[in-house]
């Protein structure tokens, strides 16, 4: 349980999500790493270069840290969950709280995770569809509707000349492992409990 929740700390160091943009002119794809505290280029100038390309189709620049409340709140929420997890773990180890708290933590974390994904998807939609009306290139879908540029939440998509890959980063795998560990902790706790009381 303690290790599981501590794995969440990895989010401060490793990206939660990664989006790569390859194109004929970019044999070395441009990429952005999404951290809970902000978005960074995979290479030093990738964000600037993605923005440079996006301005043709009227997309807004990729948000800076101060432009999204998420980058302020997410680290705090994660910090809180780590602290809670460690406390529950210690108390559980000492037998002061029930193993059910482990599951409780997992459920709360899962809900938060889903909310996070939902929020991330909302941002992707806004980023990909709220386009500058004076955009240099205004493209239409075959059915005549304006083309939008929402990157996939997860997976691969071809967008104009770009191959877009959006996949969880190392941080996401660490959360997942951490959360699984708490489930393991729950079952171990349950078994111990049963051993003790049966």
**Using an 8 Å Cβ cutoff, are 30 and 21 in contact?**
yes
In the complex with other proteins, the residue whose CB is nearer, 28 or 141, is 28
In the complex with other proteins, the residue whose CB is nearer, 28 or 145, is 28
Paired tokens of 12: 């401060």
Taking CB under 8 A as the criterion, which residues in 113-152 touch other proteins? 136-137
Confirm or reject binding of residue 45 to other proteins (CB under 8 A): yes
CA distance 182 to 190: 12
Confirm or reject binding of residue 110 to other proteins (CB under 8 A): no
Which of the ranges 7-15, 44-52, 79-87, 94-102 carries the binding residues for other proteins, by CB under 8 A? 44-52
Task: Mention every residue, 6+ apart, whose C-beta is less than 8 A from residue 159.
Answer: 149, 151
Confirm or reject binding of residue 51 to other proteins (CB under 8 A): no
Which of the ranges 40-48, 102-110, 142-150, 180-188 carries the binding residues for other proteins, by CB under 8 A? 40-48
In the complex with other proteins, the residue whose CB is nearer, 30 or 36, is 30
In the complex with other proteins, the residue whose CB is nearer, 44 or 140, is 44
**Using an 8 Å Cβ cutoff, are 163 and 93 in contact?**
no
Confirm or reject binding of residue 49 to other proteins (CB under 8 A): yes
Which of the ranges 45-53, 65-73, 93-101, 148-156 carries the binding residues for other proteins, by CB under 8 A? 45-53
DSSP state of 151: P
Taking CB under 8 A as the criterion, which residues in 53-72 touch other proteins? 56
HEC per residue, 8-38 = HHHHHCCCCEEEEEEECCEEEEEEEEEECCE
**Kind plus residue range of the DSSP H or E element containing 162:** strand 162-168
- Closest by CA position to 93, among listed 195, 198, 192: 192
Residue ranges that bind other proteins, judged by CB under 8 A: 28, 44-45, 48-49, 52, 56, 136-137
């Amino acid at each position: 349980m303690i290790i599981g929740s501590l794995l969440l700390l990895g989010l401060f160091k490793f990206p939660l999500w990664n989006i790569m943009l390859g194109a004929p002119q970019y044999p070395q794809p441009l990429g952005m790493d999404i951290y809970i505290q902000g978005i960074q280029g995979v290479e030093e100038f990738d964000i600037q270069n993605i923005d440079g390309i996006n301005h043709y189709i009227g997309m807004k620049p990729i948000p800076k840290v101060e432009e999204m409340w998420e980058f302020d709140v997410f680290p705090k929420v994660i910090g809180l969950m780590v602290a809670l997890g460690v406390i529950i773990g210690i108390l559980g180890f000492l037998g002061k709280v029930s193993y059910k708290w482990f599951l409780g933590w997992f459920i709360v974390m899962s809900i938060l995770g889903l909310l996070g994904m939902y929020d991330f998807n909302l941002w992707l939609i806004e980023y990909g569809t709220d386009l500058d009306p004076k955009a240099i290139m205004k493209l239409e879908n075959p059915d005549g509707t304006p083309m939008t540029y929402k990157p996939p939440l997860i997976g691969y998509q071809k967008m104009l000349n770009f191959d877009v890959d959006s996949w969880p980063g190392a941080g996401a795998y660490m959360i997942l492992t951490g959360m699984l560990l708490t489930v393991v902790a729950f079952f171990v706790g349950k078994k111990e409990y049963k051993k003790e009381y049966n």
